[in-house]
Amino acid sequence: MGPRLNGDESSLWQAATRVLDANWTGIATTPSPGLYPHQWGWDSVFVSLGLARYRPERARQEIAGLLRAQWADGMVPHIVFNAGLVRQGYFPGPELWLSSRQPGAPRSVETSALTQPPLHAFAALRLHAAASSGGACSRDFLRWAYPKLAAQHEYLADVRDVGGEGLASICHPWESGMDNSPAWDRPLAAAQPPPTSYARLPVPRSIPAGVDHDRYVWLVTTFRDSGYDAGYLRDEHPFLVEDPLFNAVYLASTHALAEIAEVVGADPVPHREAAERLHDALVRRLWDDEQRCFHPLDLRTGKLIRVATAASFVPLLDPYLSAPMARRLADLMLSARFAGAAGYPMPTCDLQASAFDRAAYWRGPTWACTNWLLWAGALQQGFGSIADLLYDGTLRLVRQSGFREFFDPFDGSGRGSHDYSWTAALLLDLLA
């Protein structure tokens, strides 16, 4: 099974399916062999988009694994631990989160207590669309998933709308998916942990270590010590940000939820109304007219964080984004600040920002997942040539350097881990 491809594309296709098959544990697909041995939220969602193209049943299993780990309040966790692999040494493991002591956590698996960009409903609808003639299995799956996805969205609307204006806030850089984005430097620096109180394990990877990692862990322990309490989050937690990527994905998934509701015979209207409110709040709160792009809003200072990153453009996914705003985003994407000297789209940080670093994880390198979101956003806005740039650039990166975790935006060399699941999966989605 698979689309009609030329010789080169067909070998890429085969190689990508080998990566995904090798990273399948029997329960879920790990982001990368060795490095991340468990199931991750938005990784699995992206993986499901690739699996949908050749193993639709497993694509559904991938999303089901996340939804089965949902907490009683509707939160879908960003890590679902594989009990058989906890000794592989990923830090922080279940011992940090202590989910098994939380009354609202699932009993069957241990999980983290944070979430990640909620692309789940968007992906579930895409799986359905990719299923041959909308198949019965796929409709059954949507029937099973719909109440869980709706509960996930209710959680975001209730517990995470701390600003009270309709957007969901993230309470940790890990929730953004772009851990060490320069956008988090200021709010993270303002969160002052006590001296290190846990034993650091060596971190054998390119992720931020040292003081930033200490702060990441401390933010979790302080949230955990409150019993992961919504009131604590609202009134005391030091890191609380409304992020354009997270909220644009939330909005795209809310539209998808309305369509899923129609497929399963539920009422789509509340989801349509929610999407309208989200669109209004996104534009009202995160659009920066002076800088002509979206920026995160730090709820603890009440100020926009004015560093343009790949996240600034993800609201292109919004079907009701006004044409002038979409045009401004496109102009910035094509300007010297994002296209400039970079040979490959799309650097994760403004090339002219002092924080830009071509090698440093989410501070400059290009990633298949952000490219894919922007490709989907460009298609949504009818920006065919930008979509082509992202499509061709992403294929070129993989041809040149393989299924790497991320890539140098100037010369396309591969960085981080090899055989990365979302790079393989999103390539399949692009080729299909």
The set of catalytic residues is: 179, 405
Cβ contact 394:371 at 8 Å: yes
| Options 177, 345, 347, 412; binder of ligand 9WN; rule CB under 6 A | 177
Cβ nearer to ligand 9WN, comparing 129 with 203: 203
Which single residue is written with the structure tokens 């190689």? 15
Residue 199 in tokens? 């034993």
Q: Which residue in the shown chain puts its C-beta closest to ligand 9WN?
A: 31
Cβ nearer to ligand 9WN, comparing 163 with 177: 177
Q: What share of the chain is helix, strand, coil (3-state, %, to 5)?
A: 55, 5, 40
Query: Which uninterrupted H or E stretch holds 406?
Result: strand 406-407
Cβ nearer to ligand 9WN, comparing 168 with 275: 168
Gap between the Cα atoms of 351 and 408, Å rounded:
12
What DSSP assignment string belongs to 331-387?
A: HHHHSTTTTTT-SSS--SB-TTSTT--TTSGGGS-B-HHHHHHHHHHHHHTT-HHHH
Cβ contact 290:304 at 8 Å: no
Number of shown-chain residues binding ligand 9WN (CB under 6 A):
10
| Options 39, 43, 299, 373; binder of ligand 9WN; rule CB under 6 A | 43
| Options 24, 46, 146, 174; binder of ligand 9WN; rule CB under 6 A | 174
Residue 295: name the closest of 254, 247, 235 by CA: 247
Alpha helical stretches, state H, 23-159: 41-51, 56-68, 94-97, 120-130, 136-158
Report the site for ligand 9WN in 224-263 (rule: CB under 6 A): none
Packed helices 136-158 and 56-68: angle between N→C axes, nearest 10 degrees? 30
Gap between the Cα atoms of 49 and 122, Å rounded:
10
Task: Select the span of 36-44, 219-227, 232-240, 281-289 touching ligand 9WN (CB under 6 A).
Answer: 36-44
| Options 40, 81, 338, 383; binder of ligand 9WN; rule CB under 6 A | 40
- Shortest Cβ 292–ligand 9WN spacing (Å): 26
Cβ nearer to ligand 9WN, comparing 247 with 381: 247
**For ligand 9WN, what does the binding mask look like between residues 129 and 168, x meaning CB under 6 A?**
----------------------------------------
- Shortest Cβ 179–ligand 9WN spacing (Å): 4
Gap between the Cα atoms of 348 and 417, Å rounded:
18
Task: Select the span of 138-146, 172-180, 266-274, 303-311 touching ligand 9WN (CB under 6 A).
Answer: 172-180
| Options 13, 23, 31, 397; binder of ligand 9WN; rule CB under 6 A | 31
Q: Where are the beta strands (DSSP E) in 137-260?
A: 241-242
Burial string for 219-235 (b: 16+ CB within 10 Å, else e) reads: bbbbbbeeebeeeebbe
- Shortest Cβ 205–ligand 9WN spacing (Å): 8
Cβ nearer to ligand 9WN, comparing 165 with 357: 357
- Shortest Cβ 164–ligand 9WN spacing (Å): 28
Which single residue is written with the structure tokens 């299924």? 403
Cβ nearer to ligand 9WN, comparing 40 with 141: 40
- Shortest Cβ 258–ligand 9WN spacing (Å): 27
Query: Which uninterrupted H or E stretch holds 426?
Result: helix 421-431
**For ligand 9WN, what does the binding mask look like between residues 189 and 208, x meaning CB under 6 A?**
------------------x-
Residue 346: DSSP 8-state:
-
Q: Which residues of this protein are in contact with ligand 9WN, per CB under 6 A?
A: 31, 36, 40, 42-43, 78, 174, 177, 179, 207
